[in-house]
């Protein structure tokens, strides 16, 4: 349950601390950098569908050396809330209403959405590069959104959790390991 300053408020009012409210959708590179830079002048909330940050450019190495994932990831909540001093919501934005300045967010362990108001909103959600899948699914990025997970090639893995991502990487590592045992040839495009 979100505290009062984060519920829908009368339009034009500022947050409880006298600063405008800024909602950042996405807690990866751009979202965390924006949170750090904006926190002095705004009451900042970061929402991400994953519980963790992942340095995606290095993830391919984790498929051949799974322990490398630890060097590429960290849990967002302690870094954003304790170290940076901003609010973190682990959940998925289901609707964004720019005219009325609110987002409907489904927290990870909730069955319904909360309305979160803002004065400013920055979308820092990145993208997916899987051109052969309808939702852009690929090994490069974790599959985290509710609708994408329904049609995922990996429905048994919940990559919203860091342990789900780890499990997926281990499964792919074992596939590569088995191919290597067979001295198979792999084409990487």
pLDDT at position 13, please? 56
Determine the pLDDT at residue 127: 79
What pLDDT, on the 0 to 100 scale, is given for residue 17? 58
CA gap 95, 155 in Å, rounded: 24
Q: What pTM does this model have?
A: 0.86
Q: In the predicted model, what is the mean pLDDT of residues 148-173?
A: 94
Q: Could you give the CA distance from residue 46 to residue 6 in angstroms, rounded to a whole number?
A: 12
Condensed to tens digits (0 to 9), the pLDDT of residues 106-149 reads: 999 999 999 999 999 999 998 777 777 878 788 888 999 899 99
Dist CA 151 CA 135 (whole Å): 8
pLDDT band at residue 5 using 50, 70 and 90 as cut-offs: very low
Dihedral sign for Cα atoms in the order 140, 159, 153, 169: positive
Give SS3 for 83.
Answer: helix
Q: Strand, helix or coil at 166?
A: helix
pLDDT over 90 at 53, yes or no:
yes
Written in H, E and C, the secondary structure of 85-137 is CCEEEEEEEEEEECCCCEEEEEECCCCCCEEEECCEEEECCCCCCCCCCCCCC
Residue 50 CB neighbour total at 10 angstroms: 23
Query: Is pLDDT above 50 for 3?
Result: no
Whether 9 contacts 115, CB under 8 Å: no
Q: What is the reported pLDDT for 139?
A: 84
């Amino acid at each position: 349950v979100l505290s009062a300053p984060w519920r829908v408020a009368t339009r034009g009012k500022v947050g409880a601390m006298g600063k405008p409210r800024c909602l950042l959708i996405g807690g990866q590179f751009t979202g965390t950098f924006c949170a750090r830079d904006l926190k002095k002048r705004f009451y900042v909330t970061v929402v991400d569908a994953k519980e963790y940050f992942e340095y995606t450019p290095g993830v391919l190495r984790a498929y051949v050396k799974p322990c490398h994932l630890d060097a590429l990831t960290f849990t967002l909540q302690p870094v954003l809330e304790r170290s940076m001093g901003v609010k973190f919501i682990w959940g998925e934005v289901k609707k964004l209403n720019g005219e009325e300045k609110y987002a409907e967010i489904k927290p990870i362990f909730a069955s319904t959405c909360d309305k979160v108001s803002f004065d400013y909103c920055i979308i820092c959600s990145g993208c997916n590069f899987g051109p052969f899948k309808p939702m852009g699914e690929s090994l490069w990025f974790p599959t985290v959104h509710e609708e994408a997970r329904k049609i995922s090639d990996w429905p048994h893995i919940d990559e919203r959790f860091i342990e789900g991502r780890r499990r997926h990487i281990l499964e792919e590592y074992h596939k590569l390991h088995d191919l290597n045992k067979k001295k198979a040839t792999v084409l990487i495009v």
